Structures are given as structure tokens and as C-alpha cells.
Structure 1
Amino acid sequence: MSNSSALQYHVLDVFTDTPLTGNPLAVVFGGESLSDARMQAIAAEFNLSETVFVLPATRPGALVRARIFTPTLELPFAGHPTVGTACLLADLGLAGEGEALDIVLDEKVGPVPVRIRKSADALTYAELTTAVLPSFGEAPPAEVLADWLGLSVADLETDADAPRGASCGVPYNLVPLRSIEALGRARLQAHKLAGARPVWSSSFYLYAATHQYGVLRSRMFAPDLGVGEDPATGSAAVALCGHLADRSPTEGVLRWTLLQGVEMGRPSRLQIQAEKRDGRIIAVKVGGQAVRIASGTLNL
């Protein structure tokens, strides 16, 4: 049994190659003896969008178990903690030897395969494949979403695309906008959600096309997860990827780039990919880089 009075931790910036950008992540080792409440308290202390506790795997074939906490609750799956943890394990020499590594992380949602690539510039890239394929639900009406987001109905895309609920383990309301300008104006009116909780999800992933083909800008609001706005959200990115692939008439491998966190001053880059055969989505992936910016000891 580990001594929980001194825990090693690392802090990384994920979905970026530049320190102090991307989405910060804390990864804690040696917490086998911690209670759920203690893990939640530590995540609240870090006060980042997510904190990961790396533990011995419980599923055959998995390298480690990863428990993921926001400041207020535990998640079954999240993208930037998975990508960041995989990059860290590789950097620490805990994922095996070689420039290309395939590992599995044991998460609440199930086994999550991750492919890791080390490059000559010493930056590590990790790409996860979701444990579950996308599912879809009904988003609130456009006029309700516009009101909640401080926008007008005219700001929302309702023709070529339309709001939709989507999930690859964590559900989101996907909200397409007509312009980058509208994306920048969006402000979640959290007080308006108190009396009218959406059935599908109370988290919102907004996106708009850029002038560059295959590149989208996005923002994410999740007040119920203790995250006012998130600079890079892998679980939302794969939900969006599933939606885009589902609506696309194209078969084969479909790819997009997401730029998130720009409005927060934490620019992030997420690479998303779906494989579609005979009208069915058979795989959804998200990848990105991570840089380690701090290491230390929690003295509890």
C-alpha cells in the first residue's frame, strides 16, 4: 500500500507544443491508498479542469488505470487527461521503448487505446481512440441555446448544420455558429440553466468554420463540471468528430483540425479523425502534443 502522505505529481500543458498555452493537467502518482473523497479534494486543490490519478490497472492488457477528476466530480473519460497522461508516461520511460508506442489506459468508460509518437524535437504526440462509438441526442431549440449563450438565433447555424447532442463517453450540446465573430461574443448565461436543465447535457461545445479548409474554431462551457470555460476539450472534440462524420456523405478516413482556447489566451490545437465504412462510423480519434512544465511532491 502506498504512503499517501507524499505523492509525486507533474503538470503538463496539453494540445500544444508551447508552455503556458493549451490545457493544463495535473497527473498524480502513488495514490493507491487515497479515498475517492481525498482524490476529489486534491483535484479541487489543483483547481485545473482535470486532474488524473495514475494507479495500477484493473483491466487485462492496460498499462495503468487513470481516474479523472474535475474540481467537482469524477469523469468516466476525458481527452486532454488521456493524451497528457500518455505523453507523460512516454516521457518518463513508463510506456516502453521506441519512437512509436501503443498502450491502453484503463478508464471508467472502458479500455482506451492510445498511440504515442516521439519526434526528433523531443515533443511527444499521443492519439487516443474512443472506447465507445458516438451516440446522438436532441439539443435544446436554437432560440433557447441562443438565449443561454448570449447570442441571437441568427448567430446559430441551422441550415447546412444544426445543434445536436453527441457523445463518445461524455455528452455535449454541439452548437454550430455562423461566424468566428459570433463565437467570440458567446457568453454562457449559467443562471438561466438553473430552472431548465437540458435533457441531453448541460455542457456546450460551440464551433465555427475558419477560412482554412478542414479547420474549425471552438469553445467549451461546462459549469456543472466546475469548468466555466475549457481551453482544449478532447471528449467534446471526439463528440464533434462523430457528428461531422455522421453528417458527411464521404467514406473513408475523415480529418479536421480544431483550434480552441484562443479567446482565453490559451491557444490549443486538436487533431480529430473518424473512419467511416458503409455508412457507419467505426472509429473516432483525437490527438495532440503535450509539454511538461512542472514536477513536485504533494505533502499531505
Structure 2
Amino acid sequence: MRAFRFVTVDVFTETRFGGNQLAVFPDARGLTDAEMQALAAEFNLSETTFVLPPENPQNSARVRIFNRVREMGFAGHPNVGTAYVLGRADEESPRTYRFEEPAGLVEVTLLRDASGRVTGAEVAAPQPLAIGATLPVALAAACAGIPETAIVTARHQPTLAADGGNQRLLTEVTPEGLAAASPDLGAFRRAVAEHPEATRGFLSLYIYCRDGAEVRTRMFSPLVGTWEDAATGSAATPLAGFLLHLDGADDGAWRMLQGVEMGRPSVMLARARRRPEGIRAWVGGSSVPVLRGEAVL
């Protein structure tokens, strides 16, 4: 039998049993692809990460991220939580990690308290903001299970956007729409079937309600088993970039609250900046440890 150590943490929160759950295998050497996928399905969390030696010794590690059904090129809270786990295990670790991931090289900066102890991390989206197609209001409303009148279109139509991770359908809604939303799996399936080129065969819905620099958000991705996500860093970064795009400013910062409706309140601190290559975004926050143990295979 082989034993592999794991740690679980709650990400984007300072309170245990809040935020978004993550399982981290700090040393995944010896695990096959199939075993990683099976372990991610067994944990049944939105994501599980596996840390391996880097292919380039100048980088910190190779990090593989799996959701319940497949490997992901990039995701936000798994990078924040993985950096936190590695940083807490070695408080003398460098300020910034460089993780090799399918979406590209990901930089994650550790956050520390006044005493120097690691409290969290901030991750940079690996690619500039890419704005995709707009989709019909009726489609977004059906997926969210809310009336079309709850979709706000004064600033934009429901818009697909990404910056290295999965595309998200960014959709502004009324406060009442945000509170009432409940994903409709059938509507998600119809949306992908009706718009295969725009969706690339996958759809994740990120609805938001903005109040100045504070944004309330909810994320639904039932096609991969995540009916609702407590905190989605890889949706917060394209949303931050998209808000900056809409505002026309050179930089901006937002406090994003997610997971409230599912009893796991999360706080993501997102920022974006215009650069020569496009709009780049970052998201950070705190993490707390929850469980540790071994998986025996």
C-alpha cells in the first residue's frame, strides 16, 4: 500500500468552515493521472490540487488541479490555498511562488500578518482578459432560474470572459435576482447545445450585483457537478478585469463577497490593471487549516 499526505483548507476566509474548501496533496509524486482524478472525485470538493516537482528548476512546483470530473488548466482558490499550505509548512519560503500549470506560469504571492506568519495568498491570472461572445438575456436568466427582468443590461449583456481559466458568463443582476437564483441544469445543457462555438461545450455562470467597490457574486457550474461555488477566484479575476474594461480606468480594486447564500461566506480581494499586453487581474485572501491525513492506495 502507498500513503499520500493531504491537507484541507478553507480559502478566502478567516473563519474555519467558511470560504471554499480545498484538498491539497503537497507531495503527489507516484500518483497516476487516474488516481488523481479518482481522489478528486472521492473528496467531492470543487477542486483538489496535487503538487509535483517543477519541470523547470527555476520554478517552484508543478501544480495539477482536478475538479470532480476533469483536470483544469487554472483555477483561483486552488492556487491561493496551495500556496498557503506550502507557505505554512515552510515559513521561510520565498515571498512568491511560480507554479507550472497547463494555462501557463502562475505567480502566487504569500500574504503575512504583522509577525510574518503566512495568512493567505494572492494569485495573478496567467493571461490577460479575453472578452468573448455575448449570450441572450433569456439564456442567462433560464440558467440562473430567475426572470429576465432580474438581468441588468444597462452596462452590458451577459458576456463570456476568461483570463486563463474556464470561460465565465458574466451577468449583472438585481439584488433580488442574486438572492433568488437557483441553477437549472437543463437550461445549462440547452445553452451549450444551442451555442457550441461560443461556449466551447462548457458553461459556467457568474452573476453579480455591484455596489461601488463592493460586489456580491454567485457562481453556478452544474455541468461539472458544482451546483454552486463558495468562492471562485478564476471568475473573480475576469470579472475584475471586465469591470475595469467597462469603467475605462487604468486600475481598480473590488471586495467581492461570495458563498453567503450557501452558508460559506467568502471574501475575495480582486484588482485589475491595464498593461501593454491587455488587462491583467489578481485575486487574494486569507485561508485557514481544517483537516490533515493520508490517502492509502
Same fold per superposition (TM over 0.5): yes
Q: Which residues in structure 2 correspond to 1:198-217 (within 5 Å)?
A: 198=195, 199-200=198-199, 201-210=202-211, 213-217=212-216
The structure-2 alpha-carbon separation of the partners of 1:66 and 1:186, relative to structure 1 and needing over 3 Å to count, comes to same
Please tell me whether residue 128 in structure 1 is matched to residue 123 in structure 2.
yes
Q: Which runs of 5+ in 2 are unaligned?
A: none
Give the secondary structure class of the aligned counterpart of 1:160.
Answer: coil
TM-score by length of 1: 0.91
Match of 1:218 in 2: 217
8 Å CA contact retained: 1:133, 1:168: yes
Q: Which amino acid aligns with 1:69?
A: F
After the TM superposition, list the runs of 4 or more consecutive aligned residues in structure 1 that deviate by more than 2 angstroms: 120-123, 192-196, 198-201, 280-283
SS at match of 1:182: helix
| Equivalent of residue 40 in structure 1, options 37, 40, 46 | 37
Counting matched residue pairs gives 289
Q: Is 1:171 the counterpart of 2:167 in the alignment?
A: yes
Aligned AA (1:111): L
- For 1:137, the equivalent position in structure 2 comes to 132
State how 1:1-300 maps to structure 2 within 5 Å: 5-93=2-90, 96=93, 101-120=95-114, 122=117, 124-169=119-164, 170-178=166-174, 180-197=175-192, 198=195, 199-200=198-199, 201-210=202-211, 213-251=212-250, 253-277=251-275, 281-300=278-297
Alignment check: 8 A CA contact 1:95 1:103 kept: no
**Aligned alpha-carbon RMSD (Å):** 1.7
SS at match of 1:237: helix
- Give distance in 2, aligned partners of 1:61 and 1:111: 11
- Any idea what SS the aligned residue of 1:17 has? coil
TM-score, normalised by the number of residues in structure 2: 0.92
| Per-residue Cα deviation, 1:11-32 (whole angstroms, up to 9, x for no partner) | 0000001000000000013322
Q: Per-residue deviation at 1:95?
A: 6.3
> C-alpha separation between the residues in 1 aligned to 2:81 and 2:62?
14
Structure 1 spans left out of the alignment, 5+ residues:
none
C-alpha separation in 2, matches of 1:71 and 1:14: 18
SS across alignment from 1:57: coil
CA distance in 2, matches of 1:24, 1:52: 11
Residues of 2 paired with 1:61 and 1:257: CA distance?
33
Deviations 1:102-132 (A, max 9, x none): 2211111111011112103745121111111
* Cα deviation, residue 153, structure 1: 1.4
Q: Which residue type is aligned with residue 76 of structure 2?
A: G
How many Å separate the matches in 1 of 2:93 and 2:275? 33
* Change in 2 beyond 3 A, CA 1:193/1:271: same
Distance in structure 1 (CA, Å) of the matches to 2:65 and 2:71: 6
Between the aligned partners of 2:280 and 2:190, the Cα distance in structure 1 is 37
* 1:123–1:267 CA distance, 2 compared to 1 (3 A): farther
CA–CA distance in 2 between the matches of 1:196 and 1:152?
Answer: 16
Letter in 2 for 1:118: R
Deviation at 1:57, TM superposition (A): 0.8
Contact 1:246 1:281 in 2 (8 A): no
**1:53-99 Cα distance to aligned partner (Å, 9 max, x none):** 011111342211110000111100000000001111110007616xx
